[in-house]
Structure 1
Amino acid sequence: MDQPKISVFYDVACELGEGPGYDALTKTVWWFDIVTGRLFEKPLAGGDVQIHTLGQMASALAVIDEKRQLIATETGLFIRDRLTGHTTMHQPIEADNPSTRSNDARVHPAGAFWIGTMGKKSEKGAGSIYWYRRGELRKLFSDISISNSICFSPDGRTAYFADTGKNIIWRVDTNPETGLPVGEPALFYQHKEKGGIDGSVVDGDGNLWNACWGRSSIDVYDPSGKRIRSIEMPVRQPSCPAFVSEDTANMIITTAYHQMTEPVHRSDPDAGKTFLVELAGKGRLDPPVRL
């Protein structure tokens, strides 16, 4: 396949860009800089970027409705009023553990929010993955070093998640009505090349698109775990993709310059910028979370 059109969507670099998404209700794209605790919002059609300082590390967002968002932070889930920016603690997650923070997260088709945590210094086995829905929180998996690649099949019957520390993506059957796992996780893909498995999203055909940190690529896997495509990115450390359309496979890609040496950063001048990749195909958008 031909290399798609790739352009800079926003040129102010994030140290650790993560958690991109698209709110179809407001036609707004969002993403985070985890290290600086900032949330970025930009109209998809163009316009000024709003930058919100959250006061703590934050990494992911779920839409509640046009006026409210649910944000995953280092201490738990906060409801944020989009108009005022006011945040209120809704559900603590590892709030009593100052050594961990949120990382990857995504909303299951049933409206359940899966949230991954990890050690702030990537400590081995310090992270977990949680399920939240309608006021209930459950820990699903533990002993994870760097939680990533949380995403779901279109029918809600399969969940994926990864531990970047092991460079493995697992798949697990899920109840499509609740988003809870059914049975035990199985190996989906083990990455043995250069780079690390980072954030992922599943398209309308059930293919998984993964950002490969350190290998300058977005890799696409079919539902059997076979790699069917790789898209070369103009930066070393893409971190997470998110579709911004259901009619196309257009996506936003966050990137990072986190932990780069000065010489490497100089050789990678666009590191940390947020990109738009224009593709044919069928995208998928996360549904609102069910509080």
Structure 2
Amino acid sequence: MPSLISRFLERLGIKKENKGTNATMSGSTAALQEWQVKEPYIKLHCALGEGPYFEKATNSLRFVDIIKKRVHTVDLAKGPDSLSTLEFDIPIGVTADIEGVDPQDRILIGAKHGMAVLHRKTGKYEYITKFFAEENVRIRGNDGAIDPHGRFWLGSMTDFGQGPVLPEGALWLFHSKKPGQSMKAPVSIPNSVSWSPDNKVMYFTHSSSRVIHAYDYAAEDGSITNERTFFTYEGQGEPDGHRVDAEGNMWCAVYGDAVVLKISPQGKLVGKIHMPTKNITCVEFVGTELFITTAGMEEGQGTPEQVDFSGGLYRIDVGVKGLTPYAFKLSE
């Protein structure tokens, strides 16, 4: 079956080779918990909203629009009217904090050609290290995360406008300012990376194969071994971005099927959040609330409401806290 995310990219010229009244939870059972989100927290029509990240130091949420090349920030105390936006000349797939650095000054970004530092007051960025010695225009950075050792795992894939989405991407590991190391290749659409609460297991979503992989993660040196299938999605969509909660459950957005899945540490489906639009891209915890990014839909691809609500930012209280993200160690 063709990749749904790739179909979305195809429409862009890439052919494939709330809290309160906004959210409710139905009666949960031992078999399956279910929630329903009714409308966006912020209705802003991202083309490809992604990478939500809780900036604890300022009680704000950052998220990106990869296609429109934007980084959005909303002050959670002030609400949707506080939304601010930086625009760039390159797509940015993900952001992270830097250890010992005020995030209002600088943050880490997964950028077009690799890992970079963004100066938020000026909007300028500078690369720390790149995927390749010679820039490859076909490739861009996508999703990623900082590991318990302060290193950056970042996926790369075919960029927009570069023809077919091919298995030419990789999952990269960046350590301080050293050159990146390809840890898994080839891949087509790499997505979120996360760790279990005890840091013994690493998870990696490969959307185009509909599989979330699990690995043994070594506390001594951060190496990964014993790749295995943690979860395979057999619905109409594809697993996209995810986060792990304090109890070890994974919350995974599903692109194309209007749901967020709650998956147990044993890889079993134990809950679903039903969304009012189809293209769900990623999630992030802020306390017990889950913030959810989405991608745009075109007229005729769903109901008028699904299209109208596409590309928005959503929130819902799920009653459990997420794991605290790690910060990147820029200096050893």
* TM-score interval for Structure 1 and Structure 2 normalised by the shorter chain: over 0.9
One-letter code of the match for 1:125? P
Alignment of 1:59-78 (within 5 A): 59-64=93-98, 65-66=101-102, 67-78=105-116
Q: 1:172 to 1:264 in 2, by over 3 A?
A: same
Secondary structure of the corresponding residue to residue 184 of structure 1:
strand
In the aligned structure 2, how far is the partner of 1:38 from the partner of 1:178?
35
The 1:9/1:122 distance shift into structure 2, 3 A limit, reads farther
Question: 2:176 & 2:206 partners in 1: Cα distance?
Answer: 27
Is contact 1:265-1:271 (8 Å) kept?
no
Given that residues 238 and 255 in structure 1 are in contact (C-alpha distance below 8 angstroms), is that contact kept between their aligned partners in structure 2? yes
- CA drift of 1:122 comes to 5.9
Task: Report the Cα distance in structure 2 between the residues aligned to 1:35 and 1:129, rounded to whole angstroms.
Answer: 21
Equivalent positions of 1:218-229 (< 5 A) are 218-229=260-271
Tell me the CA shift for residue 5 of structure 1.
5.8
Q: TM-score, length-normalised on structure 2? A: 0.81
The CA distance in 2 between the partners of 1:241 and 1:91, in whole Å, is 27
- Whether 2:86 is the aligned partner of 1:52: answer yes
Q: 1:204 to 1:7 in 2, by over 3 A?
A: farther
When the two chains are superposed, the root-mean-square deviation of aligned CA atoms in Å is 1.8
Q: CA deviation at 1:262?
A: 2.3
Identity of matched residues, %: 27
Q: Tell me the residue number matched to 1:161.
A: 204
The alpha-carbon distance between structure 1 residues 122 and 237, as it changes in their structure 2 partners (threshold 3 A), is: farther
| Length, aligned pairs only | 285
Partner Cα distance (1:204, 1:5) in 2: 22
Q: 1:264 aligns with which of 295, 301, 312?
A: 301
Aligned twin of 1:280:
319
Partner of 1:290: 329
- Alpha-carbon distance between aligned partners in 1 of 2:38 and 2:77, rounded to the nearest angstrom: 16
C-alpha distance in 2, partners of 1:177/1:7? Answer: 45
User: What is the aligned partner in structure 2 of residue 22 from structure 1?
Assistant: 54
Larger Rg over CA atoms: 2
Higher relative strand content: 1
Q: Does 1:180 align with 2:223?
A: yes
Structure 1 residues not aligned, in runs of 5+? none
Letter in 1 for 2:252: N
Unaligned runs of 5+ in 2: 1-27, 29-33
TM-score, normalised by the number of residues in structure 1: 0.92
- Matches of 2:221 and 2:177 in 1, distance apart? 13
In the alignment, residue 78 of structure 1 is paired with which amino acid?
A: A
Where 2:208 maps in the other structure, the secondary structure is coil
* Bigger fraction of residues in helix: 2
SS in 1 for 2:40: strand
Matching residue of 1:198: 240
Q: Which of 99, 108, 115 is 2:147 aligned to?
A: 108
Moved more, 144-153 or 31-40: 144-153
Equivalent residue for 1:41? Answer: 73
Distance 1:211 1:46 in 2: 26
CA offset digits 1:151-192 (Å, max 9, x no partner): 1112222111122111111001112354331x2311111112
* Mapped partners of 1:75, 1:68: distance in 2: 18
Structure 1 pair 271/115, CA: closer, same or farther in 2 (3 Å)?
A: same
CA change 1:10–1:135 in 2 (3 A) is same
> Runs of at least 4 residues of structure 1 off by over 4 A?
4-7
Per the TM alignment, residue 135 of structure 1 is displaced from its structure 2 partner at its CA by 2.1
1:210 has 2:249 as partner: no
Q: Secondary structure at the match of 2:321?
A: coil
Compared CA separation, residues 178 and 6, structure 1 to 2 (3 A): farther
Instruction: Report the Cα offset of residue 77 of structure 1.
Output: 1.3
Query: Residues 78 and 89 of structure 1 are in contact (CA less than 8 Å); yes or no, is this contact kept in structure 2?
Result: yes
